[in-house]
Structure 1
């Protein structure tokens, strides 16, 4: 099973911001929320044996949390999965 990681390498993520007039385009969007998660986040999520839909749903739910909340929940889940 291939690890789930959209925009996994930094270059592909940066391409979004490097498009022509990207900052201008972004500034015209209303209610734009950008959440960045670390490579470590995806590595932790990939420890779980979930299908693609489960991973995507879990990640969407995690994105509404703060980074500290995400980290805490993931660490707790990983600890429980090891026992």
Structure 2
């Protein structure tokens, strides 16, 4: 999925074809995280994502780091 495409806003909108395309586009893998009846899809973080997250941690703390990684690797879901 490129930056111009709309990301699915619900896990029910994610199709097997989308998951296959994500897996082809993201060599570090695609992961589904289920929490409290909701589901989100993420790609594996790359070096750029981690560098950005470390910068956010220095400015705001560990929770900012986690938020940065989740924002940068989010593919879609609830």
Fold shared, TM-score > 0.5 on shorter chain:
no
**Higher helix proportion, which one?**
1
TM-score band by shorter chain is under 0.3
Whichever of the two has the greater Rg, that structure is 1
TM-score (ref. length: structure 2): 0.27
**Higher strand proportion, which one?**
2
TM-score (ref. length: structure 1): 0.26
